[in-house]
């Protein structure tokens, strides 16, 4: 049968765009569809605009610290509208870049939401398109639980377009997005309350990092309510909202933001009708080749709910293009993928946490830690501290994990991720000469094993 395309991609985010461009470069006839804007969550309303907001919010502390270094800084003021508009201009620019990349690669863009009609047929509005192979790359979407008053809450999607900065904001959730926006709004001067269900922030990260981040956030004036759940949200009589918790607390806010997770964006794609298996969260189930239960239909990125990071989706997309159209069978390796949280201070991490390592290796795990005040803070007087941690296999001496919270943590961990991926030993770390004076040198100067107090170890 003659198909319209060799490969058709549903979803023009970072992963889908990369897969389509690489496949087209190898000679495949490729089409792609998108129902919002080309670039996906990361570029349009995720990582990129969010990090620009992080940059903007950090200037408040820079102005404060400058005095200790001899600068005379007049009382600064900030225009949320100026920053918001500048950020959205940059998003527009990047959207244009992605459009040109697709066009330059010869990928045909169809605007609209794709829906599978059968294993080789996609419906986009009034169009019907056929393809030999189909790639689902529709990402994820924010989830707001079914509570009374949920219509009064925003998500990260709307946070980039606020008409004005809230004086008081309540953020529900303790993951990446929640802690990042808590830092952003606090940096701009908002009073921030963060509500989390668990004891600590960032479930799944190393416990020492989680505790350290909460301490630093509280030190910046962010109020964290742990082991707390929201019962309902009500519109206040005059202005703003009241957030009521299940234990009877009432928290007043000008804005309520939910950041309680994202779900695979598979609703309305027609996956069930053609036999594509999904799990209880709606994520497409795939094998190690990113292939679904239907042999010609593949899926990458957040829609598979495996490791929800933009570079992972990009790598998965490239692997599919290499496998299908370059006679180069390639699997995505999901082990030892570095990640960052652009909280304030930021986190960088790669490999196993201490808890994961102990589950896998038992008592044969060695821990090395360093906690110190960064050199910059010795003059500024700021009490913020950096924390670093190495997790090591006690039998083989292999470094299993590197974790850091502090200035430049993501930049430092990116370099260390190479060492971890190569299987470097603690001995190699020790033999590496430190770059002085820097925070990063602490990773190669930690010599004493950390022994956790018995009470903490039991807990």
Strands 386-393 and 347-351: unpaired
**What contacts 83, CB < 8 A, 6 or more positions away?**
52, 53, 56
Catalytic annotation on 436? yes
* 108 vs 30: CA distance, rounded Å: 7
Coil, strand or helix at 341: strand
Kind plus residue range of the DSSP H or E element containing 400: strand 399-405
* 177 vs 154: CA distance, rounded Å: 13
* 258 vs 178: CA distance, rounded Å: 8
DSSP summary character for residue 158:
H
Q: Are 275 and 285 in contact (CB under 8 A)?
A: no
The length of the chain is: 459
Using left for φ > 0, alpha for ψ between -120 and 50, and beta otherwise, residue 118 falls in: beta
| CA within 13 Å, CB half, 69 | 12
Strands 168-172 and 108-111: unpaired
Of the residues 61, 78, 110, 436, which is catalytic? 436
Can you list the alpha helix ranges (DSSP code H) found in 270-425? 271-274, 310-325, 354-361, 375-380, 409-421
Active-site positions?
A: 436
């Amino acid at each position: 049968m003659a198909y319209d395309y060799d490969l058709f991609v549903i979803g023009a985010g970072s992963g889908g765009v990369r897969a389509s461009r690489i496949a087209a470069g190898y000679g495949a006839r490729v089409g792609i569809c998108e129902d919002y804007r080309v670039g996906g969550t990361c570029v349009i309303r995720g990582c990129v605009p969010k990090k620009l907001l992080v940059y903007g919010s950090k200037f408040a502390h820079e102005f404060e610290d400058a005095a200790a270094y001899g600068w005379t800084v007049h009382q600064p003021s900030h225009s949320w509208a100026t920053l918001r508009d500048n950020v959205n201009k940059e998003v527009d620019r990047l959207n244009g870049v992605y459009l040109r990349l697709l066009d330059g690669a010869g990928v045909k863009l169809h605007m609209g939401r794709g829906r599978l009609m059968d294993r080789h047929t996609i419906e986009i509005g009034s169009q019907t398109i056929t393809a030999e192979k189909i790639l689902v790359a529709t990402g994820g979407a924010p989830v707001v639980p079914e509570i009374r008053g949920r219509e009064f809450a925003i998500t990260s999607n709307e946070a980039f377009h606020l008409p004005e900065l809230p004086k008081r904001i309540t953020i529900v959730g303790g993951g990446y997005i929640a802690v990042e926006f808590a830092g952003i709004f606090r940096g701009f001067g908002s009073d921030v309350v963060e509500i989390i269900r668990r004891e600590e922030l960032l479930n799944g990260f190393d416990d020492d990092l989680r505790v350290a981040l909460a301490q630093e956030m509280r030190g910046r004036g962010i109020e964290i309510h742990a082991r707390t759940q929201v019962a309902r949200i009500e519109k206040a009589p005059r202005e703003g909202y009241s957030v009521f918790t299940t234990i009877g607390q009432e928290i007043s806010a000008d804005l309520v933001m939910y950041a309680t997770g994202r779900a695979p964006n598979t609703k309305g794609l027609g996956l069930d009708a053609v036999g594509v298996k999904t799990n209880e969260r709606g994520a497409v189930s795939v094998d190690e080749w990113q292939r679904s239960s239907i042999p010609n239909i593949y899926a990458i990125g957040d829609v598979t709910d495996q490791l929800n990071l933009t570079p992972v989706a990009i790598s998965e997309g490239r692997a599919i293009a290499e496998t299908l159209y370059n006679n180069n069978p390639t699997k995505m390796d999901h082990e030892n993928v570095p990640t960052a949280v652009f909280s304030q201070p930021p986190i960088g991490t790669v490999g196993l946490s201490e808890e994961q390592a102990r589950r896998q290796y038992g008592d044969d795990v060695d821990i090395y830690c360093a906690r110190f005040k960064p050199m910059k803070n010795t003059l500024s007087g700021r009490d913020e501290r950096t924390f670093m941690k190495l997790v090591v296999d006690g039998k083989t001496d292999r470094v299993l994990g590197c974790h850091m919270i502090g200035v430049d943590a993501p930049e430092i961990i990116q370099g260390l991720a190479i060492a971890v991926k190569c299987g470097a030993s603690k001995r190699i770390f020790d033999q590496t000469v430190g770059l002085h004076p820097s925070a990063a040198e602490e990773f190669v100067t930690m010599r004493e094993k950390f022994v956790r107090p018995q009470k903490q170890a039991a807990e």
